[in-house]
Structure 1
Amino acid sequence: MGGNRGVAYIGKGKVEIQEIDYPDLVLRDGPGVNPLNVGRKCEHGVILKVVTTNICGSDQHMVRGRTTAPEGLILGHEITGEIIECGRDVEFMQKGDLVSVPFNIACGRCRACKEQDTHICLNVNPDRPGSAYGYVDMGGWVGGQSEYVMVPYADFQLLRFPDKDQAMSKIRDLTMLSDIFPTGFHGAYSAGVSPGKSVYIAGAGPVGLAAAHSAQLLGASVVIVGDLIQERLDQAKSFGCETINLREHDDIGEQIEQILGTPEVDCAVDAVGFEASAHGAGGGEAPATVLNSIMQLTRAGGKLGIPGLYVTGDPGGVDEDAREGTLKIRLGLGWAKAHTFVTGQTPVMKYHRELMNSILSGRAEIAKAVNATIISLDQAPEGYQQFDGGASKKFVIDPHGMLK
């Protein structure tokens, strides 16, 4: 058995690199593992040598202490790797394959999976539908910000890259297929972005930037991105987006009117989630801000894509309601305007193959859009600090130094 190291959450605001167990094809007991999942055999799984694994804004929520994540949880759900061991029941994947791992863990057998709702698989998380690696209340599957990781249900889930050398030459883009690119695309697609439409993206973090690039791929006429951090807005501008600094302007409608000639857009995306802030100078945390603002800004009959994370438990919530995920949302406004809301985890497998082809053809340049920045595993704690400070970078961890 070999060694392994991974990024562990050790308390509010802190992660560290720890020696962890080398994976095998059984889900062992450990921090966050649901007791009903302990000892679960995974002969349908593989062991991956992790080639790249990314830091996600969802990880940051846990590290900030804004969830009920237990100390010692090994983080990381954005994984790309090389298969080095296959379980007995794996038929179609082989050692040496370079693959993208959807962050949703899905069995491929339940009703949800058969209906392509792999984000709400019914068999992998005893607590509720849906699961992910290295994430709170998601069943306890060990995270992939590590050197090696076990991935179950390999034949069903894994996306194999057709040419290994070509894939490594585009790995900065392809690493985004595990979560951020499909999530951004899902936000734009579910918001109804199509040729000629205008779209407002709330948030210029990596998911917001991915949603903006996806909106361009879908043919949007104008993509407007709003954020509180100018550095992130500058990144959105770098690939052709219009921007609004929400720290300087609290009336988004007025700013949109200056861009479009009307204070409304055809569709909108919430790429912020439950740690939203009020707009304007000195605005504090106000978790319903984005949801209410995009209802106000979106035309009647429009759609709202909501890939931003909302939780059922937030120890750091601004009030008792927020601590249990109850927010003061103007649902009556959305009802009156006949809005369509699409929420929840992204079903990555609905999109990842086509997005891979867009990358390999040169059509999609997602690494450029999100400012992919390569770091070593030992640099991960610093990456978390910079990301928490608002750096406009998508940190990509290279655990084995395989990227040139």
Structure 2
Amino acid sequence: MAGNKAVVYSKPGSVEVRNTDYPELVLKDGPGVNPLNVGRKCEHGVILKVVTTNICGSDQHMVRGRTTAPSGLILGHEITGEVIEVGRDVEFIKKGDLVSVPFNIACGRCRSCKERNTNVCLNVNPDRPGSAYGYVDMGGWVGGQSEYVMVPYADFQLLKFPDKEKAMEKILDLTMLSDIFPTGYHGAVSAGVRPGSTVYVAGAGPVGLAAAHSAQLLGAAVVIVGDLNAERLAQAKSFGCETVNLRENSDLAGQIDQILGLPEVDSAIDCVGFEAHGHGKAHGEAPATVLNSIMEVTRAGGSLGIPGLYVTGDPGAVDEDSKIGTLKIRFGLGWAKSHTFVTGQTPVMKYNRDLMMAILSGRAQIAKAVNATLISLDNAPQAYEDFDRGVSRKFVIDPHGLVK
């Protein structure tokens, strides 16, 4: 039996690379696995040899100790791999296929899945709708920052690349299809971005950069990206975005006015989430800052896309309300301006095939936009530290050294 190595959350601020069990087509007991999911047979699943797997900002929330993630949880929900074993009930996916794995785990059978809301599948998480690999309170499906991983419901979920050789030539782009690119794109679509529109993207981390690139693909006339981190803003500027530095100047509307000639945009996208900080040099954590600021600067009748993560449990929050996801939001302002809000996990399968074609045709340059940076599995702990310090990189783990 082959071995397996994986990136494991050990304690707040720390991840380790550990030897772990080789996956089987069954969900076994382990850290974070819901007791009602233990022993769940997955003959509809496959075993993947992981080709690439990415570090996500959502992983960082857990690693910082800002969730109830248990020690020993195997991380990783952004997975691309080669099929090396198929379950008895798998009909269309074959050994040798190179596939992208949507981070949402979805059965394909329930009402939500049939309505294309694969982000809130009703059958994969006993606690609540929706699930993901290697994530707290998501049912306990084992993460993919590893050498090998099991993926259930393979025929329904997996996106097969049509030409394996050509896919490997663009693998740093295609690896973004599991989460970050569809998530950024969903934020832009949810915000109503269209040809000629003006867009504000809050946050220049990888998802914010993906949202900005997505807005460009959708035809936005001007994309403005705001952040407190000058290095990340420089990355946004590198592919044609306007930028506002909210550490140096806390007046967001005023900075937008200087760019557009009026202090508002047609659409706004929150790519920060619940660890948001206030603006200015003396900023501190203020989790409702981004939500309130995008309502302020979005025109009446505009839309807000909110792919940034918000949680129901945050033990490290700044106040008791925020610890249970209760934030002081100016909802009356949003109501008065007739804003449309779209929140929640991204239904990756709505977008990943189209975005794959945009990559393969050369239309989308997502790896360049997010500064994809290849690392080995053993270098993952250092990459987590670097990412936490705010470097402007999207770290892509290559567990087997397969990427040229």
Aligned to 2:33: 33
The separation in 2 between residues aligned to 1:329 and 1:41, in whole angstroms, is: 43
Deviations 1:298-330 (A, max 9, x none): 000000000000000000000000001100000
Matches within 5 A, 1:175-190: 175-190=175-190
The separation in 2 between residues aligned to 1:243 and 1:61, in whole angstroms, is: 25
Give the aligned residue type for 2:395: F
The separation in 2 between residues aligned to 1:323 and 1:140, in whole angstroms, is: 22
Matches within 5 A, 1:152-171: 152-171=152-171
The separation in 1 between residues aligned to 2:221 and 2:282, in whole angstroms, is: 33
Q: Structure 1 residue 131 and structure 2 residue 131: aligned?
A: yes
Deviations 1:106-149 (A, max 9, x none): 00000000000000000000000000000000000000000000
Matches within 5 A, 1:2-401: 2-401=2-401
Q: CA RMSD in A?
A: 0.3
SS in 1 for 2:181: helix
Deviations 1:135-174 (A, max 9, x none): 0000000000000000000000000000000000000000
Deviations 1:53-81 (A, max 9, x none): 00000000000000000000000000000
What displacement does 1:282 show?
1.2
SS in 2 for 1:320: coil
The separation in 2 between residues aligned to 1:379 and 1:400, in whole angstroms, is: 13
Give the aligned residue type for 2:195: P
- 4+ residue stretches of structure 1 with deviation over 6 A? none
Give the aligned residue type for 1:26: V
What displacement does 1:385 show?
0.3
The separation in 1 between residues aligned to 2:68 and 2:338, in whole angstroms, is: 35
Give the aligned residue type for 1:223: V
Structure 1: state its 5+ residue gaps: none
Give the aligned residue type for 2:256: I
Give the aligned residue type for 2:110: C
The separation in 2 between residues aligned to 1:116 and 1:387, in whole angstroms, is: 33
Give the aligned residue type for 1:61: H
Give the aligned residue type for 2:132: A
SS in 2 for 1:15: strand
Deviations 1:349-386 (A, max 9, x none): 00000000000000000000000000000000000000
Give the aligned residue type for 1:253: A
The separation in 1 between residues aligned to 2:383 and 2:349, in whole angstroms, is: 28
Structure 2: state its 5+ residue gaps: none
Q: Among the aligned pairs, what percent are the same residue? A: 80
The separation in 2 between residues aligned to 1:144 and 1:316, in whole angstroms, is: 26
Give the TM-score taking structure 1 as reference length: 1.00
What displacement does 1:204 show?
0.1
Give the aligned residue type for 2:143: G
Give the aligned residue type for 1:357: M
Give the aligned residue type for 1:213: H
Give the aligned residue type for 2:229: I
The separation in 2 between residues aligned to 1:401 and 1:391, in whole angstroms, is: 23
Give the TM-score taking structure 2 as reference length: 1.00
